[in-house]
Amino acid sequence: MTAEAMADAPTGRWKRLKEATAAAHQRIDTRIMAAAPFASRERYGLFLKVQHAFHRDINNLYHLPELQSAFDDLPVRARLTAVAQDLADLGFPIPAESDTAHEMPKFDAPTAAGWLYVAEGSNLGAAFLLKAASRLGLSEDFGARHLAAAPEGRGISWRKFTAALDAMTLTKADEERLFAAARNAFERVHALVELMMPLPGPTAPASQPEIAT
């Protein structure tokens, strides 16, 4: 491989990826919060359904042989079992796979890393979500297990992941696939939110406004 074929600088990849997906993140954050996921356990259950469908999509990626040397702790990061347990804690059924079936891409290492970036990053922001969930009586031990921090701490776990992402040896074309995959993953989650987290209806005004005659 020639030097030209390599991505310009392996360091800084994560920062560029963060910048490239910032708008997609903001869009999904706003859309999820508009669906009032912490207004009640019922509404939180809709968020859990989205999380379950997304983590079911990507669960195999945590075990992809091509990624194990770059990310040495990948299998323990998978959160599908925790989301399923959260649904069970609250008495919600596991949504049928056929309800959310989606054609996934062919996962080579860069594509898988792009999807995993989105899933792992969402655990960083989950500190805020866990705090909101605690107001519904939920915790790392009940109903909000999948929002728990890694035992080593959220920050350390995230720095390890992004350092591994930066250290991957990728061609320019590989890196472009990784970036496109992260954008596709955000789009997939957005589509799941649209499907499973309808916006709450308008609340009736407390009193009818006076109509001038």
Residues forming contacts to ligand HEM in the complex (CB under 6 A) are 18, 25, 28-29, 32-33, 117-118, 121-122, 124-125, 128, 189
Q: Could you tell me the smallest distance in angstroms from the CB atom of residue 144 to ligand HEM?
A: 13
Q: Could you tell me the smallest distance in angstroms from the CB atom of residue 208 to ligand HEM?
A: 34
Q: Could you tell me the smallest distance in angstroms from the CB atom of residue 19 to ligand HEM?
A: 9
Which residue lies nearer to ligand HEM by CB, 48 or 118?
118
Which residue lies nearer to ligand HEM by CB, 111 or 122?
122
Rounded Cα distance, 143 and 141, in Å: 7
Which residue lies nearer to ligand HEM by CB, 13 or 177?
13
Could you tell me where the DSSP H helices lie in the chain? 13-34, 41-58, 74-77, 80-89, 109-134, 154-167, 172-196
Rounded Cα distance, 143 and 86, in Å: 4
Which residue lies nearer to ligand HEM by CB, 5 or 22?
22
Q: Could you tell me the smallest distance in angstroms from the CB atom of residue 32 to ligand HEM?
A: 4
Q: What's the DSSP call for residue 12?
A: T
Q: What's the DSSP call for residue 213?
A: -
Q: Could you tell me the smallest distance in angstroms from the CB atom of residue 186 to ligand HEM?
A: 6
Rounded Cα distance, 105 and 21, in Å: 19
Task: Provide φ and ψ at 44, rounded to 5°.
Answer: -60, -35
Q: Could you tell me the smallest distance in angstroms from the CB atom of residue 182 to ligand HEM?
A: 8
89, exposed or middle or buried, with CB in 10 Å at 0-12, 13-18, 19+?
Answer: middle
Which residue lies nearer to ligand HEM by CB, 100 or 122?
122
Which residue lies nearer to ligand HEM by CB, 125 or 198?
125
What angle do the packed helices 13-34 and 172-196 form, to 10 degrees? 10
Closest CA to 125 of 16, 18, 13, 15: 18
